[in-house]
Amino acid sequence: MAHGTSRDSFILGNKAVMLAVAGGRIVLQFNVRLRCELIPQGQTGGLTIFGDHANSDVEIRHLEKAQRLKLRSSSLVPCWQP
């Protein structure tokens, strides 16, 4: 099931999960059966690039230099169902 909400946002869902995308990022991932959000409030999900820094504390540098990508376009592809 897909619902359009505006030009840059949409909601996908089924009996088990609901996913909302806005501004190119996943803003809500909700487990319908358990009735709980899976993305902490104030954060977003999606693709993230972490820069590679030689000779440094890798864990700290990765967290500091994370670049969160935004989707520029999206399309719904019909699924084959038996």
Question: Which domain range does residue 53 map to?
Answer: 2-68
Say what the pTM is.
Answer: 0.64
The dihedral region occupied by 19, where left means phi > 0, alpha psi between -120 and 50, and beta the remainder, is: beta
- 23 or 51, higher pLDDT: 23
Number of domains in the chain: 1
28 burial type by CB count under 10 A (0-12 exposed, 13-18 middle, 19+ buried): middle
- Considering the chain, what percentage of its residues have pLDDT values greater than 70? 63
Q: What is the pLDDT of residue 61?
A: 63
Average pLDDT for residues 4-21, to the nearest whole number?
A: 82
Q: Is residue 57 part of a domain?
A: yes
Q: What are 26-52's pLDDT values in tens digits?
A: 999 999 999 999 999 888 888 777 766
